[in-house]
Chains A and B, each alone.
Chain A
Amino acid sequence: MDSGSLQVFMIPVLYCALHDPAAACPTGYTTNKTVSVWGSGGRIELTVAKFMALQKTVQPDWYQSMADGETWQSNTSRKRVRKSVDRTLAHLDECLLEHQKSQELEGVEVFGVVEGGDILEERIRSAKETAKRPVAGFCLDGLQTGCMEQALRTQLITAVTKELPEDKPRLLQGVGRPDEVLACAEAGVDLFESFFPFQVTERGCALCFDYDVSPDPERAGRAPPAVLELEENRETAVVAQQNGDLNLDERTQMTSFEIDLKDKRYQDDFRPLVEGCGCYCCKNHQRAYLHHLLVTNELLAGVLLMIHNTAHYLGFFRALREALAGDKLDLLKRRVLREGGRQTERKD
């Protein structure tokens, strides 16, 4: 199923999410009328009224309505999942009521939140009901990395998007790893959060997976990233897919899409992070320098890595859009996931 082609926004849009996708969220604090968020001062309990008051102050372009998404724990009962769907719909209706009343939110759009845990019927029910409301888009919650196998996630998203209108965007929360992005985009997701490059940066790593499927002869000459270390990383990076509790390791552990610049092998590697990358870091600095900055705990390491990782990630999404438009998704998947044969060895 294709994801719809949305207009590309020329001006940046501010989207207000409920939780920080990069921070683990304590559970057990949601009630029928409230959800909790965590700030620098501790827990803040939000009623719909408080939630809407915040939205009126922030005045984003879009925001997700208040939602109960605590369904990812392994022991979540069917009853609990049902409750999360019901509560979320109730919150949405209250939010919409308040939204329509307030002048400050004129021009601001609301995204309905689809819940349902890992139960297909509940997911479909949530999607159907949410689609009945006058929302501008849909936020798919409770599917974040680490809480279920990708196969189940794909199945649920596919079923959900079937119930959603074609002309409204679908945003998926908490999923950012390139392989998961590819599968979820194929299943109908339009928008993803960009916390993944941040997490890669935090662990001192650099994204370097190849996503170039361009037939353009000028770009074809661009050398692929050095593959050797990637192969080794893939073997050593344990992506433990466990059923049950949110596997936090999966969220913070190094993936096969990146290189660990703290590794000694980069000490005297004078190449850029990714050959041909046009970001500030790759245009100005070398792996050996990044290695030095990380080893000496210098602040500049994070600055430079964030610049590169963000640029690389956005480049990946550009490639994804082009692949979908040009019907080349399979080719892109093979390139990114490196299935079917090795890539060319790095040139010396």
Chain B
Amino acid sequence: MSFKKALSAASPLTLRVVAECPVTKARACDLVLPHSAVSTPVFMPVGTQGTLKGITVDQLEGLGCHICLGNTYHLGMRPGPDLIEKANGLHGFMNWKRNLLTDSGGFQMVSLVELSEVTEEGVKFKSPYDGKEILLSPEKSISIQNSLGSDIMMQLDDVVSSTVTGPRVEEAMHRSIRWLDRCIAANKNPDKQNLFAIIQGGLNAELRRTCLDEMTKRDVPGFAIGGLSGGEEKDDFWRMVTLSTDHLPREKPRYLMGVGYAVDLVVCVALGCDMFDCVFPTRTARFGSALVPWGSLQVKQKQYAKDLQPIDPDCKCPTCKRHSRAYLHALFKSDTAAMHHITIHNIAYQLTLMRSVRQSIVEGRFPEFIRTFMKRMFPSRDQYPSWAVDALASVNVTLE
């Protein structure tokens, strides 16, 4: 049975490759989605419950964000898909006029709740709110995501921790393929909502290859690389990423899930990824950790009590334009506004980083960018993480 669908004239996703790095596998693309165009490589902030931790949609727009994440599991619980449909989808509910990506709910189910059982049917679990047993099947996940109305939906995959080995990994990989087909069949809005497949296979190259071969036979608008960024060795991580991009089609976006540290972003762009998401920048902000080109700055530390510089003198975000480290340091003791200021800065940092990466690819100087970036980030050459050195070497970038 062929799973190739005829491409509709008005596809809800178009990818235009604007530039390709002649040295690495990096690309700069224009990703056109129903609500707006997104320049890649792109970092997507995570707005779990239909809100980005204290930031208004105006502020998010002002930072130049064109796509952010909503969480199917959380929103499916509260306020539930029916209410959100009444509110004109998640876009209407949170009044976000640009793009939304929703994940399937699979990861939360595994990481957050008491797992009852994974069967071919779906994932059975106990609701944390009323103890009732719920079945999240591929059909149910897509149904919720259809109600949410996101521009990109993720398939329900059989999620297995990257530290797990053995036959369970293979079982999950094959099941994910079968669930992909069920998700495709269940999508009520294929002309408005894009369904992405998620490549699984753990840290096993053979299993990954099989998954890649099979899933790329399906005519989905985009592919995610899943099952990574879960505590595995970085040495294994990058090898699976590069293996995946080697076998994903050029003219479709590649979304590496759960990656957000600056070094990881830069390296994985070099390995051929276009889209990234991670809770790290927004989560760490709430602990007073500000992301900067030379690492991070812990605003709550005593040394900043009298430091009248902004977090980063070169940063153009609203926080750095108006406030000093000393002010934020003091504010943390009394007001939640401190968290918001740092959150804004961290999102700005991530988006600016991606913008600079893209610009360097477009201008044909990405390898140079990488070298400058690493020099700024690490005090000396011997502090460069060896996995990053290896990964970059594999795409022809040597770091002095």
**A residues engaging B (CB < 8 A)?**
40, 267-268, 270, 280, 284-286, 288-289, 291-293, 295-296, 298-300, 302-304
Distance from B320 Cβ to chain A, minimum over Cβ atoms (Å): 20
A270 → B minimal CB distance (Å): 6
Closest to A40 in B: B333
B69 → chain A closest CB, angstroms: 15
* Interface segment out of the listed B13-21, B50-58, B98-106, B308-316: B50-58
In contact, B57 and A284 (Cβ under 8 angstroms): yes
Beyond the given A296-B49, A299-B336, A303-B340, could you list 7 further A-B residue pairs with CB under 8 A, ordered by the A residue number?
A267-B79, A270-B86, A280-B58, A284-B95, A292-B49, A300-B53, A300-B54
User: In the complex, A210→B79 CA distance in Å?
Assistant: 30
Expressed in whole angstroms, the minimum distance between the Cβ of B400 and any Cβ of chain A is 44
B383 within 8 A of A: no
Q: Check if B87 is an interface residue, CB within 8 A of chain A.
A: yes
**Do the beta carbons of A299 and B94 come within 8 Å of each other?**
no
Tell whether B270 is near chain A: CB-to-CB under 8 Å.
no
Does B135 lie at the interface of the complex (its beta carbon under 8 Å from any beta carbon of A)? no
A299-B93 contact given A267-B79, A268-B86, A270-B86, CB 8 Å threshold: no
The residues of B that contact A303 with a CB separation of less than 8 Å are 54, 56, 340
B2 contacts which chain A residues (CB < 8 A)?
none
**Also in contact, A296 and B78, with CB within 8 A (given A40-B333, A302-B336, A303-B340):** yes
The reply to whether the CB of B266 lies closer than 8 angstroms to some CB of chain A is no
* Cβ 8 A contact of B78, one of A270, A285, A292, A304: A292
Q: Give every chain B residue within 8 A of A280 (Cβ-Cβ).
A: 56, 58
B8: Cβ under 8 A from any A Cβ = no
Query: What are 21 A-B residue pairs whose CB atoms fall within 8 Å in the complex?
Result: A40-B334, A268-B83, A280-B56, A284-B56, A284-B57, A284-B58, A285-B95, A286-B87, A288-B93, A289-B94, A289-B95, A292-B50, A292-B78, A295-B78, A296-B74, A296-B78, A298-B54, A299-B51, A299-B340, A300-B52, A304-B56
Interface check B269, CB cutoff 8 A: no
Task: Determine the distance from Cα of A82 to Cα of B336 in the docked complex, in whole angstroms.
Answer: 41
Known interface pairs A285-B95, A289-B94, A292-B78. Does A299 touch B54 (Cβ–Cβ under 8 Å)?
Answer: yes
**Chain A positions within 8 Å of B94 at CB level:** 289
Chain B positions near chain A (C-beta within 8 angstroms): 49-58, 74, 78-79, 83, 86-87, 93-95, 333-334, 336, 339-340
Shortest distance in angstroms between A272's beta carbon and chain B's nearest beta carbon?
11
Q: What is the minimal beta-carbon distance from B283 to any residue of chain A, in angstroms?
A: 12
Q: Which of B53, B79, B336 contacts A292 (CB 8 A)?
A: B79
Listed from nearest, the 5 A-B pairs whose CB atoms lie closest are A299-B54, A40-B333, A300-B51, A296-B49, A298-B51
Complex: chain A residue closest to B337, CB-CB = A303
Chain B residues, CB < 8 A from A289:
50, 87, 93-95
Contacts of A296 in B (CB 8 A): 49, 74, 78
Set of chain A residues within 8 Å of B83, measured between Cβ atoms: 267-268, 288
**A295 contact set on B, CB distance < 8 A:** 78-79
- Docked Cα-Cα span, A299 to B337, in Å, equals 10
Please give me the residue from chain B that is nearest to A291 by CB atom: B79
A41: nearest residue on chain B (CB-CB)?
A: B333
B52 contacts across to A, CB distance below 8 A:
300
Chain A positions within 8 Å of B340 at CB level: 299, 303
Chain A residues lying within 8 Å of B95, measured Cβ to Cβ, are 284-285, 289
Most buried by A among B50, B74, B86: B50
Q: Measured between alpha carbons, how far is A292 from B58 in the docked complex, in Å?
A: 19
Task: Judge whether B339 and A299 touch: CB under 8 Å.
Answer: yes
User: Whole-angstrom distance between the alpha carbons of A280 and B50 in the complex?
Assistant: 18
Minimum CB–CB distance from A150 to chain B (whole Å) comes to 32
Q: What's the nearest-Cβ distance from chain B to residue A304, in Å?
A: 7
Are A298 and B86 in contact, with the CB atoms below 8 A?
Answer: no
CB neighbours (8 Å) of B87 from chain A are: 270, 286, 288-289
Write out the residue numbers on chain A whose beta carbons fall within 8 Å of the beta carbon of B53: 298-300
User: In the complex the two chains form, is B49's CB within 8 Å of A298's CB?
Assistant: yes
CB distance from B244 to the nearest CB of A (A): 34
CA distance A296 to B79 in the complex (A): 9
A298 contacts across to B, CB distance below 8 A: 49, 51, 53-54
Q: Once bound together, how far apart are the Cα atoms of A65 and B56, in whole Å?
A: 39
Q: How far is the CA of A285 from the CA of B79 in the complex (A)?
A: 16
Q: How far is the CA of A299 from the CA of B340 in the complex (A)?
A: 9
Measured CA separation A116–B317 after assembly (Å): 50
Among B54, B55, B78, residue most surrounded by chain A Cβ atoms (within 10 Å): B54
Chain A residues within an 8 Å CB radius of B58 = 280, 284
When chains A and B are docked, how far (Å) is the Cα of A296 from the Cα of B51? 10
Residues of B within 8 A of A40 (CB): 333-334
Measured in the bound complex, the distance between the Cα atoms of B348 and A231 in whole Å is 46
Q: Which of these, A267, A284, A293, contacts B51 with CB under 8 Å?
A: A293
Residue of A nearest to B330 (CB): A40
Q: Are B79 and A300 interface neighbours, CB within 8 A?
A: no
Interface centre among A40, A295, A299 (most CB of B within 10 A): A299
Expressed in whole angstroms, the minimum distance between the Cβ of A130 and any Cβ of chain B is: 32
A288 to chain B, nearest CB (A): 6
By beta carbon, the residue of chain A nearest B339 is: A299
Kindly provide the distance from the CB of A67 to the nearest chain B CB, expressed in whole angstroms: 23
Q: Which of A285, A288, A296 has the most CB of B within 10 A?
A: A296
A20 to chain B, nearest CB (A): 10
Q: In the assembled complex, which residues on chain A have CB atoms less than 8 Å from the CB atom of B78?
A: 292, 295-296
Per the bound structure, the CA–CA distance linking A245 and B58 in Å amounts to 45
> In the bound complex, what is the Cα–Cα distance between A291 and B50 (angstroms)?
12
* A299 contacts across to B, CB distance below 8 A: 51, 53-54, 336, 339-340
Which one of B51, B83, B86, B340 has the greatest number of beta carbons of chain A within 10 Å?
A: B51
Residues of A within 8 A of B336 (CB): 299, 302
Which B residues touch A304, using CB under 8 A?
56
Residues of A within 8 A of B55 (CB): 300
Closest CB of chain B to A14's CB: distance in Å? Answer: 15
**B231 CB, nearest partner CB in chain A, Å:** 27
CB distance from A147 to the nearest CB of B (A): 26
Query: Which of B78, B79, B339 has the most CB atoms of chain A within a 10 A radius of its CB?
Result: B79
A295 to B55, CA, bound (A): 17
Q: How many angstroms from the CA of A190 to the CA of B320 in the assembled complex?
A: 37
Tell me which of A267, A268, A289 has the highest count of chain B C-beta atoms within 10 A of its own C-beta.
Answer: A289
Distance of A292 Cα from B333 Cα, bound (Å) = 28
